[in-house]
């Protein structure tokens, strides 16, 4: 029998425990890399689709923005299933779903079919975002949760880097369809490993009364047996728990944080190559800005996560939102290329890197019975911002409005995100509120 863990424990219980968790982190990161690849690959092929009507048909900027938004669905539904059918089953299903969707998109012959397949692929991609956050929150030692969340969700900008490099080096030879075929690789290289090395969450099993199953997994993996968490909102699970006090208000605020972060993330990843192309940079040069945007997000996000493990993520997120606003304003000024690249990297940290931190913050904010739903809510509601970002860029560029206006609007969104972040109640305040109401609740540290 493994001893119950403690929220104060930041070390490994054994080498087997460490290996098991690192496998989970590695597999989750690999899955999220292809979420990031899916996010950015559309932006890399967009100039080709706009310029050549022989690919899918005539495409204007407004329609292109709408197509960019179609993949941003699915997180809400899949997250709800993650709290009900389990983390492992949801994750395996989503890997198959989005891999098949990416391969099918490579075969699309017209705009309608392309948009429909982007929509369907988004269900699997969105489900992964919610599920891996819950997995890491439930497997990682408390003192490493922000770091491991940052490593996993840095897979999003890492996938963006992969998509940018693939477009720069391979698009001339394999075309835009070949870039989408790359997105189908997880079905063959990731799924077999996940079937072997991805266990069900013992915390999820305990939350559903399956004590013996949880103990069996802990014995096999070396993961310490978690403590049973008191129920929140009675026996309500998933979204039903989010709709009751004390989680109702913070859930709304966390959703607005994610809305802001994903509006910036998807807006910049979709339109930055086209904006820089119109500013006079050649195709490979404009794609290089996308590479810097996502590369800056990876490095900056990992550094910020280490600070968040020491000081708490909330303050760090507010600061990185402000960094995004400053960087976006700098992009509107006539600076030399070197300064522009630094500003793009800062925008990557403040937009994509901030969203990485938000996912970690949210994953550790909720109890087990509502964790995947909480991440799914933030990812799903946030993706409304992700839908608006590409649409907004398309409307502005289609109307002939200067790109600087889009950057100013994005900067205002970043400042609003920082303001909302400061208003989220601390976990301790939630506990005091719940005790006052006579309903003790356990929320993750």
Asked if the structure places residue 166 within a domain, the reply is yes
Lowest mean pLDDT among 62-71, 202-211, 332-341: 62-71
Asked if the structure places residue 7 within a domain, the reply is no
Q: Give the pLDDT confidence score for residue 413 in this predicted structure.
A: 92
Q: Give the pLDDT confidence score for residue 239 in this predicted structure.
A: 63
When the pLDDT of each residue in the chain is averaged and rounded to a whole number, the result is 80
Asked if the structure places residue 10 within a domain, the reply is no
Q: Give the pLDDT confidence score for residue 237 in this predicted structure.
A: 54
Are 187 and 95 in contact by the 8 Å Cβ rule? The answer is yes
Confidence of residue 21 (pLDDT cuts 50, 70, 90): very high
Helix (H), strand (E) at residue 55: none
CA 199 to chain centroid, in Å, comes to: 22
Rounded Cα distance between 434 and 430, Å, is 6
Rounded Cα distance between 126 and 81, Å, is 12
Asked if the structure places residue 322 within a domain, the reply is yes
Q: Measure the CA angle with vertex 357, ends 352 and 360; round to 5°.
A: 130
- Which residue range is the domain that position 270 belongs to? 15-436
Asked if the structure places residue 5 within a domain, the reply is no
Residues 219, 221, 225, 231, CA torsion sign: negative
Residue 243 token pair: 């709709």
Residues in the chain: 445
Residue 305 pLDDT > 80, yes or no? yes
- pTM score over 0.85: no
| Residue appearing with tokens 């079919």 | 113
Paired strand residues for 225: 4
Asked if the structure places residue 381 within a domain, the reply is yes
Are 165 and 131 in contact by the 8 Å Cβ rule? The answer is no
Q: Please state, in angstroms and as integers, the Cα–Cα distance from residue 369 to each residue in 8, 92, 362, following that order.
A: 21, 20, 14
Task: Give the domain CATH number at 321.
Answer: 1.20.1250.20
Confidence of residue 338 (pLDDT cuts 50, 70, 90): confident
pLDDT, average across residues 31-42? 85
- Give the count of domains, the chain: 1
Residue 400 pLDDT > 50, yes or no? yes
pLDDT tens readout for residues 74-117: 555 555 666 678 889 888 999 999 899 999 999 988 888 988 88
Asked if the structure places residue 441 within a domain, the reply is no
Rounded Cα distance between 250 and 231, Å, is 18
Residue 208 token pair: 């559903």
pLDDT tens readout for residues 141-183: 877 877 888 888 888 778 878 888 888 888 888 988 999 999 8
Asked if the structure places residue 279 within a domain, the reply is yes
pLDDT tens readout for residues 364-392: 787 766 777 777 788 778 877 877 877 77
Rounded Cα distance between 224 and 16, Å, is 11
pLDDT tens readout for residues 417-437: 999 999 998 755 555 444 444
Q: Give the pLDDT confidence score for residue 159 in this predicted structure.
A: 86
pLDDT tens readout for residues 222-275: 988 877 655 554 455 556 667 667 778 888 899 899 999 988 888 887 777 767
Residue 130 token pair: 């919610």
Nearest to 249 by CA among 34, 105, 112, 430: 430
Residue 5 pLDDT > 60, yes or no? no
Peptide bond into 246 cis (omega under 30): yes
Would residue 146 be called left, alpha or beta, if left means φ above 0 and alpha means ψ between -120 and 50 degrees?
alpha
């Amino acid at each position: 029998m493994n001893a119950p863990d403690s929220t104060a424990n930041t070390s490994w219980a054994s080498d087997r425990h460490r290996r098991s968790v690192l496998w989970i982190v590695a597999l989750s990161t690999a899955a999220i890399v292809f979420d990031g690849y899916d996010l950015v690959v559309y932006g890399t092929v967009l100039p080709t689709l706009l310029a050549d009507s022989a690919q899918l048909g005539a495409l204007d900027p407004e329609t292109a923005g709408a197509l960019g938004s179609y993949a941003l669905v699915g997180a809400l539904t899949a997250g709800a299933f993650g709290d009900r059918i389990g983390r492992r089953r949801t994750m395996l299903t989503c890997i198959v779903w989005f891999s098949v969707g990416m391969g099918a998109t490579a075969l699309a012959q017209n705009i309608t079919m392309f948009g429909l397949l982007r929509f369907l692929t988004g269900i699997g991609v969105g489900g992964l975002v919610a599920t891996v956050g819950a997995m890491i929150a439930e497997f990682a030692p408390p003192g490493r949760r922000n770091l491991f969340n940052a490593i996993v969700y840095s897979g999003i900008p890492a996938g963006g880097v992969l998509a940018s490099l693939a477009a720069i080096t391979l698009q001339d030879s394999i075309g835009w369809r070949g870039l989408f075929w790359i997105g189908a690789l997880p079905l063959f290289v990731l799924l077999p490993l996940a079937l072997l090395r991805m266990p069900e969450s013992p915390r999820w099993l305990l939350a559903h009364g399956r004590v013996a199953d949880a103990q069996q997994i802990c014995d096999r993996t070396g993961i310490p047996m978690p403590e049973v968490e008191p129920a929140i909102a009675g026996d309500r699970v998933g979204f039903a728990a989010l709709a009751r006090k004390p989680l109702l208000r913070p859930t709304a605020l966390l959703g607005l944080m994610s809305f802001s972060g994903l509006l910036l993330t998807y807006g910049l990843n979709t339109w930055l190559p086209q904006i820089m192309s119109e500013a006079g940079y050649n195709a490979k040069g404009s794609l290089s800005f996308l590479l810097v945007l996502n590369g800056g997000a990876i490095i900056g996000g990992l550094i910020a996560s280490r600070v968040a493990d020491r000081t708490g993520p909330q303050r760090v997120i507010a600061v990185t939102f402000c960094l995004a606003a400053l960087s976006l304003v700098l992009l509107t000024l006539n600076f030399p290329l070197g300064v522009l690249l630094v500003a793009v990297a800062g925008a990557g940290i403040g937009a994509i890197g901030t969203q990485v931190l938000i996912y970690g913050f949210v994953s550790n904010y909720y109890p087990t019975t509502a964790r995947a739903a909480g991440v799914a809510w933030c990812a799903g509601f946030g993706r409304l911002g992700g839908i608006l970002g590409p649409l907004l860029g398309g409307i502005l560029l289609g109307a002939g409005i200067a790109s600087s206006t889009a950057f100013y609007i994005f900067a205002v969104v970043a400042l609003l995100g920082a303001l909302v972040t400061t208003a989220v109640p601390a976990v301790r305040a939630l506990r005091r509120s719940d005790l006052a109401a006579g309903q003790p609740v356990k929320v993750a540290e």
